């Protein structure tokens, strides 16, 4: 067999891209999204859910504390937060304290790393690459910083990553600042870091940023970076598929 024929044979045997489900919310309360993730992780582990799934959404204002973060990084009082209507929730993801709010695009990935044969380091790098490509779409010169995962513009952080893994199944994910108010970040030491700032695509690009366009960019780049197809689904279809209540 010639080398040309061998290459042709290998090409024919190439495995087609995996398909992920994609569930696109507008805004969902953090607690409801967390509960949904827990249910989907259990369904994915038991093989009731046979495909990985990407949740794309925004949250109402909330501070979350990761495994390495506590209230010591809050710079305002509990009374101030109560008057502001911002919750503080402890979660199992990695990382420290962060803020979620309208205008920040969040992507949660429920993915079986064992099935995809992807290591954790490579998985996190893929999430960073998705955000970097979105930044390029708006001509923002973002970059990685190995000292703190996510994407940065100089000393200002624009996108964060915090994941959890339960028996090989990932959940939580990335949060990209698109056009949100940055004021709540001044109420904390973001990611537990001092002397760093937070920024957004809108602030860095000096142009209006449409959340619908950022959502489309995220899905496009996610599919390309992870080498998968995204099949858009609905809450009703997912809940029926895995047998959970909405």
Catalytic site includes residue 22:
no
Q: Which residue is catalytic, options 97, 191, 209, 228?
A: 191
Which two structure tokens, joined as six digits, stand for 46? 């038991």
Q: Please list the residues that pair with 197 across neighbouring strands.
A: 156
CA 106, CA 60: separation in Å to the nearest integer? 11
Task: Give the residue numbers annotated as catalytic, written as ranges.
Answer: 191
């Amino acid at each position: 067999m010639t080398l040309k024929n061998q290459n042709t044979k290998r090409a024919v045997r190439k495995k087609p891209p995996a398909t992920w489900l994609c569930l696109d919310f507008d805004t969902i309360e953090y607690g409801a999204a967390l509960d949904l993730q827990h249910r989907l992780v259990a369904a994915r582990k038991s093989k009731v859910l046979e495909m990985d799934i990407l949740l794309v959404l925004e949250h109402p204002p909330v501070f979350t504390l990761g495994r390495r973060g506590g209230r010591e990084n809050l710079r305002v009082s509990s009374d101030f937060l109560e008057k502001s209507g911002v919750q503080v929730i402890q979660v199992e993801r990695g990382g420290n304290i962060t803020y979620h709010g309208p205008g920040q695009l969040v992507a949660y990935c429920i993915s079986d790393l064992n099935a995809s044969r992807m290591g954790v380091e490579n998985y996190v790098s893929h999430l960073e690459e998705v955000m970097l490509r979105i930044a390029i779409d708006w001509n923002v010169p973002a970059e990685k910083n190995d000292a703190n995962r996510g994407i940065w513009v100089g000393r200002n952080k624009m996108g964060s990553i915090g994941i959890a893994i339960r028996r090989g199944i990932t959940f939580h994910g990335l949060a990209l600042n698109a056009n949100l108010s940055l004021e709540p970040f001044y109420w904390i030491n973001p990611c537990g870091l001092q002397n760093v700032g937070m920024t957004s695509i809108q602030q860095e690009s000096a142009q209006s940023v449409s959340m619908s366009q950022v959502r489309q960019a995220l899905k496009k780049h996610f599919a390309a970076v992870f080498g998968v197809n995204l099949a858009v689904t609905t809450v009703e279809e997912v809940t029926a598929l895995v047998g959970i209540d909405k």
